[in-house]
Copies of this chain bind each other. A is one copy, B any other.
Amino acid sequence: MSEALRVAVLGCGAVGSQVVRLLTEQSDDLAARVGAPVELVGVGVRRLDAPRDVEVPDGLLTDDVAGLVARDDVDLVVEVIGGIEPARSLILSALDNGASVVTANKALLAEDGPTLFEAAEKAERDLYYEAAVAGAIPILRPLRESLAGDKVTRVLGIVNGTTNFILDKMDSSGAGFSEALEEAQELGYAEADPTADVEGFDAAAKAAILASLAFHSRVTAADVHREGISDVTAADVASARDMGSVVKLLAICELRGDQVAARVHPAMIPRSHPLASVREAYNAVFVESEAAGQLMFYGPGAGGAPTASAVLGDLVTVARNRLAGTRGAGESAYADRAVQPMGETRTRYHVAIDVDDRAGVLAAVANAFADHDVSIQTVRQEGRGADAQLVVVSHAAPDAALAATVEQLRNMDIVRDVTSVMRVEGGDE
């Protein structure tokens, strides 16, 4: 067997502690799969005396993280600190120093991926990040490798466990958003400050990474249209249920002609869609491609051990590449596609409107849609008198036209209230 490969792990929190555990517990198996022993040579943290979920072997813990990365006997660096700095500088320094890198850092990749990819290219080293999207679910490797001979046309992902838990709770119990959020917080599925999850920032970072890989283009978090779930009401969820649908927070990446569209927003999908049955905090990514058709990848989207599993999978590949003196595919941005503005992206809307119950109302509402060249797929009339409601589902139209239609509806005399506006995905256009 070859000489040992030397690994430094940066960060020993929820994910890092599980990476250290697996490296220690599975060392025989890892050696067999890599073809050489894999040796842990250092664990970088902020506070030397903080409690840890794993027993770090004696003498390996250090708070001189920059020094650990600068050591010239480190072959592989695992970055599981998170955030932009010092993670970025540490990764750049590791690559520059000749180490290969595995990271789970979606925020950094979505904000500044190209800088990292260029550094890896220049250093001729691997930079892998399967754990950055949908935790343990192997999705980046299938997109990058398994579908490399195919043409991906769309990716629909439930990539945030917190929001899926909340929406699932609202669907199954009829609870409102705040109530469901509170329960998620009590159970540890949502943080005290839930902004990053419920406002869609976390999902948008993942959408950027998915779109980049699926369409071989550079898409950053700033390119992703983002709407969270804090405005989703019990009425929206009930309205979806009436249509045989369910509300999910989706990360949507599409190839539209020569352009890429990437967005995160709540949407109604039919209960018959494979994504509809993704419950609780699970994640899933649904992929459509020209030859393979419809694929779905499902599993736990977070958690220390699941995420560490994805990190270790990358680590084995990177270690094998290193032994063989080669590298993985690297990033391919060869297609260099422009990002389509949200207003031009074709979407479908579901709109529920409280209306006056009198002749001509339906015609007036239909005219508002026609004014913006939006064609209607179905209209359902519910209730009578003071409870009269129209539920309209449109065909696909530019999002800006749909938004303008809703604006116009809100200003109409016969419309008492627009009670629910939500996009519709996963069905026919």
Contact = CB atoms under 8 A, between A and B. Distances in A.
B312 A150 contact: yes
A398 to B, nearest CB: 28
A299 B298 contact: no
Interface residues of A, number: 57
Contacts of A293: 136, 299-300, 303, 305-306
Nearest to A312: B149
Nearest to A324: B326
B298 A292 contact: no
Choose among A142, A148, A298, A335 the residue with the greatest number of B CB atoms under 10 Å from its CB: A148
A44 to B, nearest CB: 20
A177 interface: no
Contacts of A291: 18, 22, 136, 305-306, 308-309, 312
Interface string A198-232: 00000000000000000010000000000000000
A341 to B, nearest CB: 26
A260 to B, nearest CB: 15
The DSSP consensus for interface residues of chain A is: mixed
Interface stretch (A108-116, A261-269, A315-323, A350-358): A315-323
Interface stretch (A29-37, A91-99, A180-188): A29-37
A332 interface: yes
A130 to B, nearest CB: 7
Contacts of A18: 291
A138 interface: yes
6 contacts: A26-B151, A33-B332, A130-B146, A138-B295, A148-B313, A149-B312
